[in-house]
Amino acid sequence: MDGPRPAAPEPQRILIIKPSSLGDVVHALPVLAAARATYPRAYLAWLVGTSIAPLLARHPLLDEVIEFDRRRYGRMLQNPRILAEFVRFVRDLRRRRFDLVLDLQGLARSGFLAWATGARQRVGFRAARELAWAFYTRRVVTPAGDTHAVEKNVALARAAGLRLDRPEFPLGLRPEELDHARARITTAAGGPLPAFTAVVPGARWPSKQWPAEKFAELIDALHAAGRPPVVLLGGPDERPLAAAIVRAVHAPVVDLCGQTDVRALAAVLALAQQVICCDSGPMHIAAALGTPIVAVFGPTNPARTGPYAADAQVVSRALPCAPCYARRCPLGHHDCLRGLAASVARDAALQSSRRPK
């Protein structure tokens, strides 16, 4: 952190900037919890991407969710109307008169938005990319090496004066959301499911995707071992993947893929006995909820972005080329996941603790 500073007045209006992605927003929840605990009377807002905003909608710890349409504003230099919309957005942001801004994104866009608020305290990472650090009044040094994203956010929160002993991940699920999730599962299954395993097979990057036939083999193996029925989950874009799994599997499967928004998906994950997934946003939601996890990793490093939870197991292959952090396999073979046997994930799932019904 930059040199010593005199004590600042207690902030009255606080803004968290973390627009994306889904997993990254979940990783930032401990900062939200710490800000509310430290300054219970402060006005607390979060600037988040439009597609992820529903996750934070009506959150009990937030006074406001400010939606940022990155895709639309990304075209502002080609469209004067969109440019005018962005200028109005920045003006409205400044009119809110925030006095403390925490930029957890660390990119030029988020750094600029932090500066545009006019807040007297703008805290961000010293190692922020794209020269975003130039927009901050306080630059926080985070642990080097393969440090988990949550630990970096915790370091920033503490440097900003927030009280944070143990990271908490409040998702703010309401009882009615859990009731709706139970009803949705009952309808899709044709009757109540006292226990189920949630399988979320999708991933944003093609290189993170475990093949559909591997998931089908795993589901059949768990069924043969007496594990509860499987509920498939995912977004609308993952319906073809879920359909491929349903065609290949012999065990009974309840397919809810594409039928839940992010809040409803979180509610289903909260009810599951276990979650099996790739490296994805839903994996981080399950970790925040405390649901036992088996996560399949390939090109990414679980030390940095794995499930931040005690009751989670990661299965992967130790290869010289992994982790490569590439969205598509640079070598063209994708052996890190294509070569990962379903039996490895099965053994991890059978060893994983299961929440009581």
Distance CA 19, CA 25 (A): 7
pLDDT at residue number 305? 92
Backbone angles phi, psi at 257, to 5 degrees: -65, 130
CATH code at position 121: 3.40.50.2000
Q: Is residue 227 within 8 Å of residue 294, measured between CB atoms? A: no
pLDDT band of residue 4 (cuts 50, 70, 90) is: low
Indicate whether 308 pLDDT > 80. Answer: yes
Tokens of 335: 């052996």
Tokens 């989670």 sit on residue? 312
For the question of whether the overall pTM of this predicted structure is more than 0.85, the answer is yes
Q: How distant, in Å, are the alpha carbons of 120, 299, 319, 326 from that of 205? A: 38, 10, 19, 8
Residues 151 and 208 in one domain: no
Q: What would you report as the CA-atom Rg of the chain, rounded to the nearest whole angstrom?
A: 21
Strand ranges inside the chain, DSSP E: 13-17, 43-49, 64-68, 100-103, 121-125, 138-140, 197-200, 230-232, 253-255, 274-278, 293-296, 312-315
For 272-289, the DSSP string reads: -SEEEEESSHHHHHHHHH
Instruction: List pLDDT tens digits, range 121-144.
Output: 999 999 999 999 999 999 999 887
- Look at residues 124, 159, 194 and tell me which one is the last residue of a structural domain: 159
33 and 112 together in one domain: yes
Residues 340, 263 share a domain: yes
pLDDT tens digits, one per residue of 182-207 = 999 999 999 999 999 999 999 999 99
Do residue 196 and residue 331 come from a single domain?
yes
The model's confidence at residue 356, banded by pLDDT at 50, 70 and 90, is: low
Instruction: Please indicate, yes or no, whether residues 274 and 324 belong to a single structural domain of this protein.
Output: yes
In this structure, are 41 and 143 located in the same domain? yes
Q: Are residues 340 and 202 part of one domain?
A: yes
**pLDDT, tens digit (0-9, with 9 covering 90-100), for 312-354:** 999 999 999 999 999 999 999 999 999 999 999 999 999 986 6
* Predicted confidence (pLDDT) per residue in 139-158, tens digit: 999 887 789 999 999 999 99
Work out the mean pLDDT of the chain and round it to a whole number.
Answer: 94
What is the extent of the structural domain holding 209?
175-351
**Predicted local confidence at residue 353, as pLDDT:** 67
Are the C-beta atoms of 147 and 154 separated by less than 8 Å?
Answer: no
Domain count, the chain: 2
DSSP reduced 3-state for 205: coil
356 domain-assigned: no
Q: State the DSSP H helix or E strand holding residue 111, giving kind and residue range, or none if neither.
A: helix 108-116
Are 107 and 144 contained in the same domain? yes
